[in-house]
């Protein structure tokens, strides 16, 4: 009975979180919001197909842009022990 409770919710074959941009379209039904909702659904569907959530994808993008080195403190806050 509780076997599939940790699985993501799906509506047909699309992850339910990917349908969130359609809330924007429901609130403001215009052609540009419909196109924006379709692009959002495609983006979130690709992320779900890759097995990623949005926070994980943002972290991966940050690593690609900034590199894997994460200093503990910024350079202007480091103490000089000399």
**What tens digit of pLDDT does each residue of 7-18 get?**
777 777 777 777
State the residue range of the domain holding 56.
8-65
Q: What sign does the dihedral 52-58-63-64 (CA atoms) show?
A: positive
Question: Where do the DSSP E strands lie in the chain?
Answer: 10-11, 14-15
Asked if residue 3 is part of any domain, the answer here is: no
Look-up of token digits 């919710």: 9
Instruction: Express as a percent the part of the chain with pLDDT over 90.
Output: 10
CB burial readout 35-51, b (16+ within 10 A) else e: eebeebbeebbebbeee
Instruction: Say how many domains are in the chain.
Output: 1
The answer to the question of residue 72 being in a domain is: no
Beta bridge partners of 11: 14
Query: What does the pLDDT read at residue 34?
Result: 92
Domain membership flag for residue 48: yes
**38 within some domain:** yes
Residues 27, 74: Cα–Cα separation, whole Å: 42
Supply the pTM of this predicted model: 0.64
Residue 46 lies in a domain: yes
Please tell me the least confidently modeled range out of 5-14, 22-31, 35-44, 70-79: 70-79
């Amino acid at each position: 009975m509780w076997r599939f409770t940790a699985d993501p919710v799906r509506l047909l074959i699309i992850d339910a979180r990917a349908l969130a941009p359609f809330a924007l379209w429901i609130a403001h039904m215009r052609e540009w919001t419909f196109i924006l909702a379709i692009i959002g659904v495609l983006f979130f569907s690709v992320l779900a197909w890759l097995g990623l959530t949005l926070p994980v994808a943002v972290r991966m993008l940050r690593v690609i842009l900034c590199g894997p080195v994460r200093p503990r403190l910024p350079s202007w806050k480091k103490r000089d022990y000399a």
